[in-house]
Amino acid sequence: MKTFERNKSILVAILLFLTAATLIFASPAYPDTINNIESSARIVYLVEIEGVITTGQKNFIERQVDNAMEMESQLLIVRINTPGGLVDATMKINELFLNVPMPVAVLVAPSGAIAGSAGTFILMASDIAAMAPGTTIGAAQPVTISPEGAGEAGEKTVTFYASYMRNTAEEKGRPGDIAERFVTENLSLGSRESLEKGMIDYLARNVHELMNEIDGKEIEKLGEIYKLNTIDAPIVQDEMTFAERLQNWLSNPQIAFLVLMAGVLGIYLGLNAPGTIVPEVGGLILIIMGIYGIGLFDVNTTGIILLLLGIGLIMAEIFTSGFGVLGTGGAISLAVGAIMLPIEPFMASEWYPAFIVTVGGTVLGLVIILVVVVQRVIKSRRRWTGGSEHFNPPEKGVTVSELNPEGRIKARGEYWRARSIDDSTIPAGTEVKVVKAETLLLWVQITKNEKTKNDTAEL
């Protein structure tokens, strides 16, 4: 009966957990402000993008566009402040903005914000482009990373993204030649210069100021004319769900690498302390999460191979007497693989030094842990191990019969089977030191004091 009740409690707990997880990950999470909006009102849907453009950000935007469409919003405003981001996520956001049957406005704000690299691509894909005074766009030249550091991408890559930027800008009526220079020359423009050159349509300090500026404007998109009535229009804004926050966090390459290394370390420590279970399970979960995060951005095949090789070498260190050689090789492989891994042309060039520092610090910490563990293993192998708490052999004894090479000794008032460690003959009555033990057999050698007495007697 007790077992049934316990199993029932466990089942209820599992069901509650699954229910909570379903609500967290699957619920659309519409904002509460929707209930306060009259059905006749034409709302403006607001989305905010802060930080690196990741897959989590992309998924969040996709859900917000769906919500805006369901609510028949007259306009989607995206306030952006980003140094750059992941290629795949950026391209999918652009594709979404270009094809959604609704005007999309992108505002770089507040003052001091930037829309660098990937952010500039997104700005060029908007139907209405605006910037707050004191903001900056541009610096969209593709970059690559190698063990020597970040550098300019190849001509083929630069040409492709320059053409993409030009075509996107011209599609929205903006100067394609200037847009192209964002990529080919790493051009950067401030807000006023962007307005003068026709790269943006408005200067606006905030969302409300932009809504006042664009009131009455007609937007032609996908063969339809959309007339905006935005003065005093209600604004709806939603927050990221837990799942989107987790995806956004994991798909940051720095975080993904740290999570992966934490998982490797967890399994390493767990297998070195068998029976604990928690480090192994936690490490496995973190490795899966890290691989998931790494899979969210473009990867270099060599980098992936080196990462897997590094993990394999560290695992081999656990099960062999590598004395740190395999582990050190694994750490080096991880470092080189991580450096070669990111190929994200739209990431800001300033991001790569920080990534290198993260990789270096993580690998250094891993090497320090390996050194400590290896030192403890070497020390334990040099030291005799006393078995379980129920079997604690003596340290010294006196032979009661000749050891030739086996016999008996007396220690702590007890008689023990003993054998000389070098198979030599040890006379009865000789003081001996226990070197190691195998079950109930002691391996012994003559003590230094006994050797000194014997040498003196011979003289």
What is the mean pLDDT of the segment spanning 24-38?
40
Q: Is the pLDDT of residue 366 over 80?
A: no
pLDDT tens figures, 427-440: 888 999 998 887 67
pLDDT tens figures, 147-199: 555 566 778 888 999 999 999 999 999 999 999 999 999 999 999 999 999 99
Contact 135, 190 (CB under 8 A): yes
Beta-carbon contacts of 432 under 8 Å, excluding residues fewer than 6 positions away, are 396, 397, 398, 399, 403, 409, 418, 426, 444, 445, 446, 447, 450
Q: What is the pLDDT of residue 236?
A: 93
In which residue ranges of the chain is CATH 2.40.50.140 found? 396-458
Q: What is the pLDDT of residue 187?
A: 94
- Is pLDDT larger for residue 271 or for residue 72? 72
Q: Is the pLDDT of residue 338 over 90?
A: no
Q: What is the pLDDT of residue 201?
A: 96
Q: What is the pLDDT of residue 8?
A: 40
3-class secondary-structure state, position 321: coil
CATH architecture of 37-242: Alpha-Beta Complex (3.90)
Q: Is the pLDDT of residue 72 over 80?
A: yes
What is the mean pLDDT of the segment spanning 127-135?
97
Q: What is the pLDDT of residue 228?
A: 94
**Dist. CA 152–CA 229, nearest whole Å:** 45
Report the alpha-carbon angle 433-438-440, nearest 5.
Answer: 85
Quote the DSSP letter at residue 4. H
3-class secondary-structure state, position 247: helix
Per-residue confidence band for 19, with pLDDT thresholds at 50, 70 and 90:
very low
Contact 131, 323 (CB under 8 A): no
- Is pLDDT larger for residue 327 or for residue 350? 327
What is the mean pLDDT of the segment spanning 266-285?
65
- Is pLDDT larger for residue 187 or for residue 146? 187
Q: Is the pLDDT of residue 96 over 90?
A: yes
What is the mean pLDDT of the segment spanning 22-45?
49
Per-residue confidence band for 53, with pLDDT thresholds at 50, 70 and 90:
confident
Topology (CATH level 3) of domain 396-458: OB fold (Dihydrolipoamide Acetyltransferase, E2P) (2.40.50)
Asked if the bond preceding 175 is cis, omega within 30° of 0, the reply is no
Q: What is the pLDDT of residue 258?
A: 75
Average per-residue pLDDT in the chain?
76
Q: Is the pLDDT of residue 296 over 50?
A: no
Give 345-409 as a DSSP string. Answer: TTS-TTHHHHHHHHHHHHHHHHHHHHHHHHHHHHHHHHS----STT----SEEEESS-BSSEEEE
Structure tokens at 126: 């908007």
Q: Which residue, 333, 261, 266, 319, is CA-closest to 290?
A: 261
Q: What is the pLDDT of residue 131?
A: 97
What is the mean pLDDT of the segment spanning 421-425?
88
Tokens 């989607």, residue located: 76
Quote the DSSP letter at residue 36. G
Percentage of the chain lying above the pLDDT 70 cut: 58
Q: What is the pLDDT of residue 189?
A: 96
Q: Which residue, 332, 256, 244, 241, is CA-closest to 296?
A: 256
Per-residue confidence band for 25, with pLDDT thresholds at 50, 70 and 90:
very low
**Dist. CA 22–CA 44, nearest whole Å:** 29
Per-residue confidence band for 358, with pLDDT thresholds at 50, 70 and 90:
low
Q: What is the pLDDT of residue 285?
A: 63
Q: What is the enclosing helix (H) or strand (E) of 448?
A: helix 448-458
Per-residue confidence band for 455, with pLDDT thresholds at 50, 70 and 90:
low
Q: What is the pLDDT of residue 64?
A: 93
**Element counts in the chain: helices (H) and strands (E):** 15, 18
Burial of 34 (C-beta count, 10 Å sphere; 0-12/13-18/19+): middle
Sheet-wide strand order for 202-203: 202-203, 128-131, 104-108, 75-81, 44-50, 235-237
Burial of 402 (C-beta count, 10 Å sphere; 0-12/13-18/19+): middle
pLDDT tens figures, 210-268: 999 999 999 999 999 999 999 989 999 888 777 677 766 776 766 777 777 777 777 76
In which residue ranges of the chain is CATH 3.90.226.10 found? 37-242
Tokens 């970059």, residue located: 143
Q: What is the pLDDT of residue 61?
A: 93
Per-residue confidence band for 10, with pLDDT thresholds at 50, 70 and 90:
very low
What is the mean pLDDT of the segment spanning 436-450?
82
Question: Where on the phi/psi map is residue 84: left (φ > 0), alpha (ψ -120 to 50), or beta?
Answer: left
Q: What is the pLDDT of residue 37?
A: 40
Q: Is the pLDDT of residue 390 over 60?
A: no
